[in-house]
Chains A and B, each alone.
Chain A
Amino acid sequence: MATKGPVPEIVDPMTDPRTGEYAVIAPGHTFKSVTQKIAGIVLTSNTPVAWMGGLFLAATVALGVVIAVTWLVLKGVGIWGITIPGAWGFAIINFVWWIGIGHAGTLISAILLLFKQTWRNSINRFAEAMTIFAVVCAGMFPLLHIGRPWLGYWLLPYPNSMNVWPQFRSPLAWDVFAVSTYATISVVFWYIGMVPDLGTLRDRAKLPLAKYVYGILSLGWRGSTRHWIRYESASLLLAGLSTPLVLSVHTTISFDFAVAAMAGWHTTIFPPYFVAGAVYSGFAMVLTLAIPIRKFYHLEDLVTLRHLDNMAKVMLATGSIVAYGYGMEVFMSWYSASHWEFFMMWNRMFGPMGWAYWILILTNIAIPLTTLWSRKLRVNVGYLFFLSFVVNIGMWFERFVIVVTSLYRDYLPSSWGTYRATKWDYMLFIGTWGLFTTLFLLFARLAPMIPMSEIRMMLPQTKVRPGGADAEVVTQEAL
């Protein structure tokens, strides 16, 4: 007679074995252990050697920005590979790429907050930092690619002795407002979110200087109920403001192209498709950062496979929207019966720069969208790390294809040209990676990378009712 054995345990690395619930963070943490873990990264006298090496390397690469910008200001934008049919090149490609990267940070901190996705808590702080540093890198390009960067302030509406105001019908003027608002709101949201954690750092710091600095930065946070109520409503309000902002900022950037009459640019699908692409590349960058960080600082308990899995799912969703965008562009160029549209797409695929289009299809669609369906691969850290690079490369090529292949062969064959980036294009672009990494490494060393206060609220201990069986344990821990 066959005996009924025990039901075999489903071994799932992402399930809490005690409750069967999805584990957002690893079990066994207490308020103290979480705080110790995260604050310990900042409040230590042992700066990791690898961190110093990384900072040195990144700062060296960032010097490329200084050199490239100095030379650019001295010699003019002609040192770049831009030509007359292709007057937008790396500067605009990189601008859109960096801004796009920033968008995931706001998506994580704002949109996921509105949807009450608690898994965002582990990643939102450094995703927001990523946003800010990406916007810093991005913001440089629009200013530098104007031939006279010292007159960039003319883009601002201020009363002047010329009686001249910006042209409010130009999407490039909207860019100024979009990016500057985006940068401001991102910094404010990031900083407000950090205030309780800065308070924790102030209280745990041993060095008087650290106490003093974190004390000033934490603005006298005492964690009273009144503080928390206001903190929560401010966060929600900012999330509600940032959500339309994040959608409109990249929409505005897509208008730079979509408003123009160029075949390949004049497309109504651009706004949503650019936003989806931004979130796609942004999440790829969050993975690029999260995977080494969790390994290096041993944060596997807090940034779990569940987080990586969720991020990969968001990438799958937004990647599919992007793929739909590509498909629709191809379809419309045929369906429009426009000679120019048809040629644009043919040229994009099989013209002299067709290789860029196929790299784009390979890296943005072929590799990610076939593999991300597999859960095994979604929780495979090594694969995700590889994939995050693939998608970032792909999203860079998306902007390259949109900017360059639409411009260098347009309506008049007599104005067909080509585009070849120079070493100064590369130096500035690679330099911004250095700048981004430098800023990020400084952030990782000096600020709490993961919001301790929010992680503490996710612990099972917070769900215990007063007087319950676990209440005593919690009280003891709190002490």
Chain B
Amino acid sequence: MAQVFDRSSNALARASLVLSGLIVIALGVTLNSLQRSPWVTRQGQRPDQPVPFSHKHHVEGLGLQCQYCHVSVEKSSYAGIPPTKTCMNCHSQIWTNAQLLEPVRQSWATGASLQWIKVHDLPDFVYFNHEIHVNKGIGCASCHGRVDEMPLMYEQNSLQMEWCLNCHRNPSVNLRPTSEIYNMAWAAPSTDKPVWCAPN
């Protein structure tokens, strides 16, 4: 009777054992990193906004304070996106012919809102409150990153639950004096954050 399996089957059988172990491990590692990947969290993605608004230009270049536009951040759970009126405070006078600002003028003329795309879009079962964080010493940059250096807005942090919990379980590392909330470049004194263990 001929043999059903020839000698090469030995190698195949052994390889299949090792491979299935490796596949299981690889699957676990993949799923684990997938759930935190930018593909899921949308970190770093810059969606096409109706107007390519540059925080870098308005904050770093012009020196606007955050609350000039995001007025309700200290008083409301919602920081607010400025209405067209805020844009037109200046842009009724400057860059009045810029093609880039056409949607803003359109919105001003027609009264239709600009359809900004939310970059930091939490699910609606999360009741995030800006006011409490800002008033208790969490600076803008801690959560939103160096917005003053972002020509186009993107999400710096994952906004995943583990990220929120990491801070809520140990807030002290991120707390700052309330006078420094809007200081994008603020860094913790080296007594709190020794240089040798600071990120970057």
Report Cα–Cα, A160/B160, bound state, in Å.
10
Residue of B nearest to A214 (CB): B4
- Most chain B CB atoms below 10 A, which of A163, A211, A215, A220: A163
A208 to B: closest C-beta gap in Å:
8
B95 on interface, CB distance cutoff 8 Å = no
A3 on interface, CB distance cutoff 8 Å = no
Q: Is the CB of B161 within 8 A of A159?
A: no
A22 on interface, CB distance cutoff 8 Å = no
Report Cα–Cα, A212/B3, bound state, in Å.
10
Q: Is the CB of B165 within 8 A of A163?
A: yes
A199 to B: closest C-beta gap in Å:
11
Q: Is the CB of A162 within 8 A of B32?
A: no
A163, A215, A220: which contacts B161 (Cβ < 8 A)? A163
State the total of A-B contacts with C-beta under 8 angstroms: 23
B39 on interface, CB distance cutoff 8 Å = no
Chain A interfacial residues counted at CB < 8 A:
11
Chain A, range 135-171, C-beta contacts under 8 Å to B: 159-164
Q: Is the CB of A161 within 8 A of B158?
A: yes
Residues of A within 8 A of B5 (CB): 215
Report Cα–Cα, A159/B163, bound state, in Å.
14
A201 to B: closest C-beta gap in Å:
12
Q: Is the CB of B13 within 8 A of A162?
A: no
Report Cα–Cα, A215/B9, bound state, in Å.
11
Q: Is the CB of B4 within 8 A of A162?
A: no
Q: A202-B4, A215-B4 are in contact. Are A159 and B13 (CB under 8 A)?
A: no
Residue of B nearest to A212 (CB): B4
Residues of B within 8 A of A220 (CB): 13
Report Cα–Cα, A211/B2, bound state, in Å.
11
Report Cα–Cα, A211/B158, bound state, in Å.
54
Residue of A nearest to B13 (CB): A220
Q: Is the CB of A164 within 8 A of B161?
A: yes
B75 on interface, CB distance cutoff 8 Å = no
B36 on interface, CB distance cutoff 8 Å = yes
Q: A164-B161, A220-B13 are in contact. Are A159 and B32 (CB under 8 A)?
A: yes
B32, B158, B162: which contacts A163 (Cβ < 8 A)? B162
A211 to B: closest C-beta gap in Å:
5
B35 on interface, CB distance cutoff 8 Å = yes
Report Cα–Cα, A163/B163, bound state, in Å.
9
Report Cα–Cα, A468/B35, bound state, in Å.
70
Report Cα–Cα, A215/B35, bound state, in Å.
40
Q: Is the CB of A160 within 8 A of B35?
A: yes
Chain B, range 110-169, C-beta contacts under 8 Å to A: 158, 160-163, 165
Report Cα–Cα, A159/B35, bound state, in Å.
10
B14 to A: closest C-beta gap in Å:
11
- Most chain B CB atoms below 10 A, which of A159, A160, A161, A212: A161
A161, A164, A211, A212: which contacts B35 (Cβ < 8 A)? A161
B4, B13, B162: which contacts A161 (Cβ < 8 A)? B162
Map CB proximity to A onto B1-17 as digits: 1 under 8 Å, 0 otherwise. 00011000000010000
Q: Is the CB of B165 within 8 A of A211?
A: no
Report Cα–Cα, A198/B162, bound state, in Å.
49
Map CB proximity to B onto A203-220 as digits: 1 under 8 Å, 0 otherwise. 000000001100100001
Residues of B within 8 A of A215 (CB): 4-5
A152 to B: closest C-beta gap in Å:
15
B125 to A: closest C-beta gap in Å:
12
A1 to B: closest C-beta gap in Å:
71
Q: Is the CB of B161 within 8 A of A211?
A: no
Residues of B within 8 A of A159 (CB): 32
Report Cα–Cα, A162/B40, bound state, in Å.
13
Residue of B nearest to A208 (CB): B4
Q: A161-B35, A220-B13 are in contact. Are A211 and B4 (CB under 8 A)?
A: yes
- Most chain A CB atoms below 10 A, which of B4, B13, B32, B162: B4
A198 to B: closest C-beta gap in Å:
12
Residue of B nearest to A159 (CB): B32
Residues of B within 8 A of A160 (CB): 35, 162
B102 to A: closest C-beta gap in Å:
40
B119 to A: closest C-beta gap in Å:
19
A162, A202, A211: which contacts B160 (Cβ < 8 A)? A162
B110 to A: closest C-beta gap in Å:
41
Report Cα–Cα, A163/B161, bound state, in Å.
7
Residues of B within 8 A of A202 (CB): 4
Residues of A within 8 A of B35 (CB): 160-161
A284 to B: closest C-beta gap in Å:
38
Report Cα–Cα, A164/B36, bound state, in Å.
15
Q: Is the CB of B165 within 8 A of A161?
A: no
Residue of A nearest to B35 (CB): A161
Report Cα–Cα, A202/B4, bound state, in Å.
9
Residues of B within 8 A of A211 (CB): 4
Residues of B within 8 A of A163 (CB): 161-162, 165
Report Cα–Cα, A164/B35, bound state, in Å.
14
Residues of A within 8 A of B13 (CB): 220
Residue of A nearest to B10 (CB): A220
Report Cα–Cα, A212/B158, bound state, in Å.
51
B184 to A: closest C-beta gap in Å:
27
B141 to A: closest C-beta gap in Å:
22
B8 to A: closest C-beta gap in Å:
14
Map CB proximity to A onto B35-76 as digits: 1 under 8 Å, 0 otherwise. 110000000000000000000000000000000000000000
B10 to A: closest C-beta gap in Å:
9
Chain A, range 205-258, C-beta contacts under 8 Å to B: 211-212, 215, 220
Chain A, range 369-416, C-beta contacts under 8 Å to B: none
What is A's interface to B at a CB cutoff of 8 Å? 159-164, 202, 211-212, 215, 220
Instruction: List 14 extra interface pairs beyond A161-B162, A215-B5, CB under 8 A.
Output: A160-B35, A160-B162, A161-B35, A161-B160, A161-B161, A161-B163, A162-B160, A162-B161, A162-B162, A163-B161, A164-B161, A202-B4, A215-B4, A220-B13
Shortest 6 CB-CB distances between A and B: which pairs? A162-B161, A161-B160, A163-B162, A215-B4, A163-B165, A161-B35
- 10 A-B contacts, Cβ less than 8 Å apart? A159-B32, A160-B162, A161-B161, A161-B162, A162-B160, A162-B161, A162-B162, A163-B161, A163-B165, A202-B4
